[in-house]
Amino acid sequence: MTDLLRILVSPVAWLAAFSAVYGLHGVLCSMMLDATVFGMSRSRLVLALAFVVAVLLQAGLLAMLYSTRYGAAPGFARVVSRASGWTGLVATIWTLFPTLAVSTCP
Amino acid sequence: MKALTRHRRLAAIWSSRPGWRGWLSTVNHNDVGLMFLVTAFFYFLVGGILAMLIRAQLATPHSAFAGPEVYSQFFTMHGTIMMFLFAIPAIEGLAIYLLPKMLGTRDLAYPRLTAYGFWCYFFGGAMLLVALLFGIAPDGGWFMYPPLTGKIHSPGINTDFWLIGITFVEISAISAAVELTVSILKYRAPGMSLGRMPIFAWYILVTALMILTGFPPLILGSILLELERAFGLPFFQLELGGDSLLWQHLFWLFGHPEVYIIFLPAAGVISTILPVMASTTLLGYRWVVAAAVALAILSFGLWVHHMFTTGIPHMGLAFFSAASTLVAIPTAVQVFAWIGTMWKGTPRLHLPMLHILGFFATFVIGGLTGVMVAVVPFDWQVHDTAFVTAHLHYVLFGGFVFPILAAVYYWLPLVSGRKRYFRLGEVAFALIFTGFHATFLAMHWVGLMGQRRRISTYAPEDGWTAINLISSVGGFVLAFGLAMVLVEVVLHAVVRHHSARNPWRAGTLEWATTMPAPAYNFASLPHVDSREPLWDDPGLPVRLARGEGYLGDPASGRRETLMVDVATGVPEQHVVYPTNTHLPIVLAAVTGLFFLSILIKVFWLTPVAVAGVVALGWLWVWRLGSRNDLGEQPIGRDLRVPNIAESDRPPGWWGSAFLLVADGTLFGSLLFGYAFLWTVAPGWPPPAFANPSPFALVAASAGAALGIAGGVFSIRNNRDGKGPVPGLLMALGGMLGLGVALMVFLAGAPSPSSHAYGATLWVLGSYGLLHAVLAGLMLAFLLSRHRAGYISSRRRAELAIAPVWIGYACVTTALILLAAYLPGLAT
């Protein structure tokens, strides 16, 4: 089962982060936070922080999948788990990038 | 022992009863898989006839063929049948029939559950079919959006048929998903590690996990809408704190993964057949597995792209637009792997290959229009037009029907032991391909010209007449092609034209059986050292027939197989299956009685049906196990392993773990709905919060502590020879505490019909109570089993299962009380 978990962990972590950020976005919009911090609206700042945390989490998971301690033994599971790790990282950057680039609530 | 003698003995042990009565009691995967497939293709026929009626109506403007009420039933039932009664059951049937053979084993993990799932599908489908025949079929569109489907706008029974019938059918899907997941992970030939699994098994594993996490939101949505319709709990009524958008979220949380649940097994079929047709191995096996996993999980982040026109903020749209474009990458990895496989091999244009080429042309177009509608501004233009209908047919027909027809022609010799005599299939393929593209290419065009989907008629001045006529003619050509496939399959069954074994010269294990495959699949189980065992060891089928593999001695007279380690495929446990029984069909009928009682509002029947389900469930489990310690069992090749009754991780533990994945997803969806209403729906916060009850909190905490500790003590004490009774009683007391806490909570909750807040708390509390009762029943069952002598310090397997459910009940109760009381405490 450990090999299966290695294969699934990064994409599942993406799904959790993606859902969480979408939910956070809904909550922030319902709270209508207008104040600005460092020239950014408070909502965008929170969402941008969530984006950074999600990317760091994925990077950490990928590093673990490449480590000898937590990574899979050479062979099938190692290749597939690392490919899934990259999937999680790329998916996080691509799908949560709008937190930095798109208008928040309108 | 001679091979023929061994065959006769094994056939006597494994076969179903002769004649049609055998269908009612069979639990063998060969029978049940075929029953699923035949029933699914029957529904394909019904759905196809409805499609023809739709095209007949739209062929000319101002058509008087069918009125809008009847037409609404046509398109609703066409979509419903094709999605729920054809596509998913066909996948289940194919997987149920093929997987044990491909995995080198004798049956799936839970043979009776396979049969139960089939009968739930059969009865649930029949419910919808009866509604269609009597003109009271669902008519709100296959995705049943409220408020149209609420009691005010749809007062009849039509919508209830959909909500209840589909929920009943979904029991079948969840059963099959648990069954297939556990079977693929634990019931394989010794030596078959994860990296040696046939690619089809990987695809089905991924699909089964998707069903476990994709279907519960729909089941929850159906329950909530039926509760609103039957008892006035206002989950989707805006004026009482509900929101119809909640339904859209729950439906598409299921609905988008559903597309991939349909496509991925078809991709598994392509990945299996294509290399054989090209006389080579699949290019990039590991990358294809990674792509399938990626596609499956990414597909859960796309659901809002069905809701781009509902007024969601731009950032929300951007999240889902980005995710929708991203899925093109793992899809493309698979498509390029298939092209590369053809490139490195020598493709032979047999009939299955024609359908695969049809798949390529059609699915790639569907994928490209998918990327188009993933882009928000384009979607705003074509939303709810015939363009979207055309797109989804390119994806589903291209991505599922062409592969399933390839599968039919590829595996038909395995099922029948015969080869085709009449060559109708090639003509049929030409008709299907041209008919399909004429129908749906035209539909893209008319959609771009503004034709809405689901309209029952149009005027000549709209300028859509010629295109619709072309589309309808194409539809009938397509229907002729599919009818020819049906004729050919019937002729195949009638005309005896024997096929040689392994006619395609494939490398996977299903072709190592005799043809047609016997009920026991393999006279002895193989040891697998590669991904294509038949290519590497052509003499394997003969040696297996001689009994030179595992479990080759039928002397015990039992249905035996092996469980293996998930990763390595090392044999771990010896399994004895239950035999033919009417229990699955009877249990499915009583389950159906429960759904029927709600449908026709005869509520006194509901508790009777529930009691029947509990009694039959009790009997179901009671028939397993042994009153004697079995010790380690010889499995051949000088190996001995313990029986499952003497292990810590029996099949029931694995089944419970994956069933709880589905259950947990349903619970998570309920919490999501609660949070969604709280943040988005108007009319929140509610007029009054639930009053936190200190007694409920204390009873729940004490109950959880007792329950968990009791479960642990029962296992530990039993292992030490002290017996499990004190621990079981303690855990039972714990579940009683949880039950009391939840009843106090429900008694203090606001009225469920006055506001969506009270309705949600009522459902949360009932959910928790149900699980506390369920865990309590399991503990009572274990006490009875111990008393009857089925549990000993060696036969400890049954004790391992209840703690999983106790833990789940404790965690969910804690979350329920937290979610319900926290807002009140905070204010």
**Residue A35 in this model has a pLDDT that exceeds 80:** no
Token pair of B332, please? 């493309």
Task: Give contacts of B257 with chain A, Cβ < 8 Å.
Answer: none
CATH 1.20.120.80 location in chain B: 685-826
* Buried/exposed B269-295: b ≥16 CB within 10 Å, e otherwise: bbbbbbbbbbebbbbbbebbbbbbbbb
At residue B235, the 3 state secondary structure works out as: coil
CATH 1.20.210.10 location in chain B: 3-13+26-494
At residue B573, the 3 state secondary structure works out as: strand
Mutual angle of helices B285-298 and B199-231, in 10-degree steps: 10
Q: What's the confidence (pLDDT) of residue A8?
A: 94
Least CB-CB distance to A97: which of B322, B675, B676? Answer: B322
Closest chain B residue by Cα to residue A74: B195
Place of tokens 């519960």: B216
Least CB-CB distance to A95: which of B194, B323, B679? Answer: B323
Please, what sign has the CA dihedral across residues B69, B71, B73, B75?
negative
User: Domain ranges in chain A?
Assistant: 2-101
B685-826 architecture in CATH?
A: Up-down Bundle (1.20)
Type of residue at B41: F
**Residue A104 in this model has a pLDDT that exceeds 80:** no
Q: What's the confidence (pLDDT) of residue A34?
A: 66
What phi and psi, each to the nearest 5 degrees, are found at residue B635?
A: -120, 10
Task: Give contacts of B319 with chain A, Cβ < 8 Å.
Answer: 18, 21-22, 25, 95-96, 98
Q: What's the confidence (pLDDT) of residue B785?
A: 95
Residue A87 at interface with chain B, using a CB cutoff of 8 Å: yes
Least CB-CB distance to B315: which of A15, A19, A25? Answer: A25
Q: Hey, are the CB atoms on B293 and A8 less than 8 Å from each other?
A: yes
Residue B318 at interface with chain A, using a CB cutoff of 8 Å: yes
Closest chain A residue by Cα to residue B304: A22
B3-13+26-494 architecture in CATH?
A: Up-down Bundle (1.20)
* Buried/exposed B173-197: b ≥16 CB within 10 Å, e otherwise: bbbbbbbbbbbbbbbbbbbbbbbbb
Closest chain B residue by Cα to residue A43: B315
Q: Hey, are the CB atoms on A80 and B298 less than 8 Å from each other?
A: no
Least CB-CB distance to A98: which of B304, B322, B680? Answer: B322
Q: Hey, are the CB atoms on A105 and B195 less than 8 Å from each other?
A: no
pLDDT digits (tens, 9 = 90+) for B260-303: 999 999 999 999 999 999 999 999 999 999 999 999 999 999 88
In angstroms, the separation between the Cα of residue A48 and the nearest Cα of chain B is: 12
**Residue A38 in this model has a pLDDT that exceeds 90:** no
Q: What's the confidence (pLDDT) of residue B683?
A: 86
Q: Hey, are the CB atoms on A11 and B290 less than 8 Å from each other?
A: no
Task: Give contacts of B566 with chain A, Cβ < 8 Å.
Answer: 1, 3-4
Place of tokens 């496509």: B263
Q: Considering only CA atoms, which of B440, B442, B438, B444 is closest in space to residue B387? A: B444
Residues of chain B with pLDDT under 70: 827
Q: Hey, are the CB atoms on A105 and B313 less than 8 Å from each other?
A: yes
Residue B490 at interface with chain A, using a CB cutoff of 8 Å: no
Residue B694 CA to residue B824 CA, distance in Å, equals 13
Residue B679 at interface with chain A, using a CB cutoff of 8 Å: yes
Residue B161 CA to residue B136 CA, distance in Å, equals 8
Count H helices, E strands: chain B? Answer: 27, 4
Q: Hey, are the CB atoms on A76 and B193 less than 8 Å from each other?
A: yes
Q: What's the confidence (pLDDT) of residue B277?
A: 96
Question: What is the DSSP secondary structure assignment for residue A72, as one 8-state letter?
Answer: P
Q: Hey, are the CB atoms on A76 and B195 less than 8 Å from each other?
A: yes
Q: Hey, are the CB atoms on A4 and B286 less than 8 Å from each other?
A: no
Closest chain B residue by Cα to residue A11: B297
Q: Are the C-beta atoms of B196 and B531 separated by less than 8 Å?
A: yes
Of B209, B293, B649, B658, which to mutate for an interface test with A (greatest number of A Cβ within 10 Å)? Answer: B293
A42: pLDDT confidence band, cut at 50, 70 and 90? confident
**Residues contacting B617, CB < 8 A, separation 6+:** B587
Least CB-CB distance to B301: which of A18, A75, A99? Answer: A18
Residue B298 at interface with chain A, using a CB cutoff of 8 Å: yes
Residue B326 at interface with chain A, using a CB cutoff of 8 Å: yes
Question: What is the DSSP secondary structure assignment for residue B16, as one 8-state letter?
Answer: P
Least CB-CB distance to A23: which of B287, B289, B675? Answer: B675
Residue B313 at interface with chain A, using a CB cutoff of 8 Å: yes
β-pair type (B632-636, B639-642): antiparallel
Whole-model pTM above 0.90?
A: yes
First vs last C-alpha separation in chain A: 45
In B466-596, beta strands by DSSP E: 560-564, 571-576
Residue A56 at interface with chain B, using a CB cutoff of 8 Å: no
Least CB-CB distance to A95: which of B193, B319, B330? Answer: B319
Least CB-CB distance to B297: which of A15, A79, A96? Answer: A15
Task: Give contacts of B684 with chain A, Cβ < 8 Å.
Answer: none
Question: What is the DSSP secondary structure assignment for residue B399, as one 8-state letter?
Answer: I
